[in-house]
Amino acid sequence: MNGSPTITRIFLGATSAYVIKGPVPILIDSGMVGQQAMLRFGLRRAGIELADLALIVVTHAHSDHTGCLAWLRTSTDAAIACSRETMDDLTKGASACMKPRTITGRLVLPLLSRVAKYPAVEGDVAVDDVMTLAPYGIDGVLLPTPGHTRGCLSVVLGGDAIVGDLVSGKLGRRNVPSIPMLLEDRTAWAESVRAVLARGVQRFHPAHGGPFDAERVADLLEGAR
């Protein structure tokens, strides 16, 4: 591989995208509908133009992660990679399952449901199992991590993992890791966290809050038993 890739966070208000800067840039998630200018600005601050992107990874099909995908499709030649479940949702512009785990989750679900739609887009690469990023010159993998939704993916690069909503910052305390307030399958979630930790990850980079040290995420897992 050509050196160690760097991870740059692109802040998009309540959510974040990430870009991996390696031999070719890889974008992780795309923010909400209407955030095209913010996303382009964040990429340019990282020294990347839209035309530079080689791959766009979608962690899961919620609109704060998929909102600008259709625009990216017309603005780049990058392939879109996601789980097969997410690919099915993308073709319909549909949200993956939003199952509240907490009282707060139940309270905000009506609002989230109103902004759940996004422009439909076709995916290119269906990730059914661990997928290497070696063709892009990066020593890393796409790892299925269901739980928040059944179609979630994480990106593991050595000691770092970009995890979408596998873990999130607590409401009002974004530096404290929490189980996501929307959780489709708690057992699958715990297995996914263990799978990421088993790869020697030291830092979790979520879409909301963080980053979090692996020890704190492991403590969260223990507390969830």
Max CA separation in the chain (angstroms) = 47
State the Cα–Cα distance between residues 41 and 34, nearest whole angstrom: 13
User: What's the pTM value of the predicted model, to 2 decimals?
Assistant: 0.95
Q: Which amino acid is it at 220?
A: L
At 2, is the pLDDT very low, low, confident or very high (cuts 50, 70, 90)? low
Whether residue 57 lies inside any domain: the answer is yes
Whether residue 141 lies inside any domain: the answer is yes
For residue 199, the domain's CATH number is 3.60.15.10
Whether residue 1 lies inside any domain: the answer is no
Task: Quote the domain boundaries for residue 144.
Answer: 6-223
The torsion angles phi and psi of 125, rounded to 5 degrees, stand at -120, 115
pLDDT of residue 200: 97
- Number of independent structural domains in the chain: 1
- pLDDT for 1 beyond 70: no
